[in-house]
Amino acid sequence: MKVLLITDQHFGVRNDNVHYVDRYRKFYTETVLPIIDKEGITEILCLGDTFDRRKGVNFNSLEAAKDMWFRPLKDRGVKMTMLLGNHDIYFKNTLRVNAPDLLLGEFDNIEIIYCPGERLIGGKKMMLVPWICEENRDACFEAIAETDAEYCMGHFELNGFEPVPGVVMEKGEDPNKLSKFKMVCSGHFHCKSTKSNVTYLGNPCQLYWNDYGHDRGFHILNTNTQRLKFYKNPFETFHKIYYTGNKTKIPTGLEGKYVKVVVETKGDQLIFDHKMRELQDSGLADLKIIEDMSYDTDVWDNVGDIELEDTLTLLEQSLEDMPNKDNIFNILKSLYMEASEI
């Protein structure tokens, strides 16, 4: 039996940016649905954060999500089991008010998992754990302790894993609490990674510049062989061009992408301006031009490392007396690294 696993889809991401809606549509229409048809997939397990905004919904983003994803699945007779993630819930301490329940009621092929429990998926008993909050914490760990399932699927915040590239979660649940399972798959962290029996699946699409150069996609789990196969999203969101003079070739096929031009050697100003105008007119989602590369590249990289370290040290020191300082620092570090890319 083959089960498609997908997580952290974040429909409505980046303030419901229409460029992301278009890229999502291309991905689901040209990649995911054809693979579902080819592989004969009849079950999908979504591991949380189906929607991006906890406090509301944009009607265009919602209709686009239904049109590109949820309706085609219903038409195909594909069953979806959907865990609730932290972005799906309105209140932080309870899962009772949540976006999937309110927005997807018309789809009788979707089961939303509010409470921890066992389900038979792909012919195998699986322990399903939604986002753990104040209200359901005891119930979640009691269910984990009592189950004899070999598989556990959840939306966990575990320490020792990277939520975003370069940032390691130091505060979270101990992954050893899940050591009894043969396989644990989780949403929540967007970095795809595996340690011991735990795999963070990663989100299907690149969302921010710190995703640049990192593969995104979805998985298919063969429950007979216990093999987890990754399917890469071929439509990357971000692209960098290193401009080294007049002979620099500007690639084609960048429509809808976020592009940075790093100018190492500008060369003739007129030629440079012409090439930048061509880029601007090629239908990009965004274009940033980074100049002032008078430093040697290696030296510039080292200076950047020093600046990063010093700035983060100052940030960490400023949080010394605050509660939850480690979690706050991890968030600030992620934001600083993303801003440093711009």
User: Does 101 reside within a domain?
Assistant: yes
CATH code, domain with 90: 3.60.21.10
User: Does 166 reside within a domain?
Assistant: yes
Q: Which helix (H) or strand (E) holds 65?
A: helix 59-65
Instruction: Annotate 185-233 with DSSP letters as a single string.
Output: EE-S--S-EEETTEEE---SS--SGGGTT---EEEEEETTTTEEEEEE-
Task: Please check whether residues 124 and 140 belong to one and the same domain.
Answer: yes
For residue 326, what pLDDT is reported? 75
Q: Distance between CA 200 and CA 172 in Å, rounded?
A: 14
**What is the distance, to the nearest Å, from the Cα of residue 210 to the centroid of all Cα atoms in its chain?**
11
For residue 342, what pLDDT is reported? 46
Task: Please check whether residues 215 and 325 belong to one and the same domain.
Answer: no
**The domain boundary residue, chosen from 209, 232, 255:** 232
Task: Please check whether residues 262 and 187 belong to one and the same domain.
Answer: no
Task: Please check whether residues 253 and 310 belong to one and the same domain.
Answer: no
Three-state DSSP class for 129? strand
SS3 for 20-89, per residue? HHHHHHHHHHHHHHHHHHHHCCCEEEECCCCECCCCCCCHHHHHHHHHHHHHHHHHHCCEEEEECCHHHE
User: Does 284 reside within a domain?
Assistant: yes
Q: Which pair of tokens denotes residue 277?
A: 């105008």
Task: Please check whether residues 243 and 113 belong to one and the same domain.
Answer: no
What's the total number of domains in the chain? 3
Q: Length of the chain in residues, anyone?
A: 342
User: Does 295 reside within a domain?
Assistant: no
Task: Please check whether residues 211 and 243 belong to one and the same domain.
Answer: no
Q: Distance between CA 94 and CA 74 in Å, rounded?
A: 29
**The domain boundary residue, chosen from 211, 232, 253:** 232
Q: What is the DSSP letter of 247?
A: T
Q: Which pair of tokens denotes residue 189?
A: 């962290």
Q: Which amino acid is present at 184?
A: V
Task: Please check whether residues 222 and 140 belong to one and the same domain.
Answer: yes
User: Which tens digits make up the pLDDT trace of 263-311?
Assistant: 999 999 999 999 999 999 999 999 999 986 543 343 334 333 333 345 6
Q: Distance between CA 84 and CA 156 in Å, rounded?
A: 11
- Residue 151: give the domain boundaries: 2-232
Three-state DSSP class for 9? coil
User: Does 171 reside within a domain?
Assistant: yes
DSSP bridge pairs for 151: 126, 183
Terminal-residue alpha carbon distance, the chain:
45
Task: Please check whether residues 90 and 203 belong to one and the same domain.
Answer: yes
Cβ-based neighbours of 274, under 8 Å, separated by 6 or more: none
Task: Please check whether residues 104 and 228 belong to one and the same domain.
Answer: yes
Task: Please check whether residues 162 and 286 belong to one and the same domain.
Answer: no
Kindly list the strands in the beta sheet with 286-290, ordered across the sheet, starting from the edge strand earlier in the chain.
Answer: 238-243, 258-263, 286-290
Cβ-based neighbours of 62, under 8 Å, separated by 6 or more: 11, 12, 103
Q: How far is CA 302 from CA 156, 164, 298, in A?
A: 35, 22, 6
* Owner of token pair 């609730």: 84
**The domain boundary residue, chosen from 214, 232, 250:** 232
User: Does 79 reside within a domain?
Assistant: yes
Task: Please check whether residues 223 and 334 belong to one and the same domain.
Answer: no
Kindly list the strands in the beta sheet with 43-46, ordered across the sheet, starting from the edge strand earlier in the chain.
Answer: 110-113, 79-83, 43-46, 2-6, 217-222, 227-232
pLDDT lower than 70: segments of the chain? 292-314, 317, 321, 337-342
Q: Which pair of tokens denotes residue 28?
A: 């689901």
For residue 327, what pLDDT is reported? 76
Task: Please check whether residues 278 and 311 belong to one and the same domain.
Answer: no
User: Does 195 reside within a domain?
Assistant: yes
User: Does 193 reside within a domain?
Assistant: yes
Neighbours of 314 (CB within 10 A): 9
Neighbours of 275 (CB within 10 A): 18
Q: Which pair of tokens denotes residue 207?
A: 């969302």
